[in-house]
Amino acid sequence: MKEISVTSSFLVFDTLKELPDDIQNLMNEAIAIRKKAYAPYSKFRVGTALLLDNGKIILGSNQENAAYPSGLCAERVAIFHAGSVYPEAKILKIAITAASDTNQTQAPIPPCGSCRQSIAEYEIKQETPIEIYFMGEVGVIYQSASLKNLLPFMFDKKFL
């Protein structure tokens, strides 16, 4: 038997103003679309903005459904839209923000497991890392240089 160690590294920004201008803009787009999320059941709103290599910004917010789990997370709404409308474009950066209607989220909220797997599929497909920035409603913002930091043992097509 042996043990392996896996480490992840993130940059931490104390405020939105510390982010580079293009990421500030992307996160502000994510914040704006978060407010339009359809979240009557969880009262937890998530907004995502993707920057594509063609310069387009694709937005997504979570969409819930009474017939749980028929809804869809903000990240997958945006990723699947980008993949269907711009199938040849690469996703360069993703900004994610989450807020609760019942209490203020102060910790960075990362993508859920299903969204991590969906982001992984596109990162593998395009053969380039996707920068991921995530935050709560307020507080620090984490930046991951690649989805591999969030999901180091990715399941992909090579296992099929």
CATH number of the domain at 77, please: 3.40.140.10
Count the Cβ atoms, other than its own, within 10 Å of residue 64: 20
Catalytic residue among 75, 88, 123, 137: 75
Residue 123 domain-assigned (yes or no): yes
Domain that holds residue 75: 12-151
69 falls in which pLDDT band (50, 70, 90)?
confident
Domains identified in the chain, total number: 1
For the question of residue 29 being annotated catalytic, the response is no
Tell me whether residue 82 is exposed, middle or buried, using C-beta atoms within 10 angstroms of its C-beta: 0 to 12, 13 to 18, 19 or more. Answer: buried
Q: Would the pLDDT of 44 be above 90?
A: yes
pTM value is: 0.94
Per the annotation, binding residues for Zn(2+) are 73, 112, 115
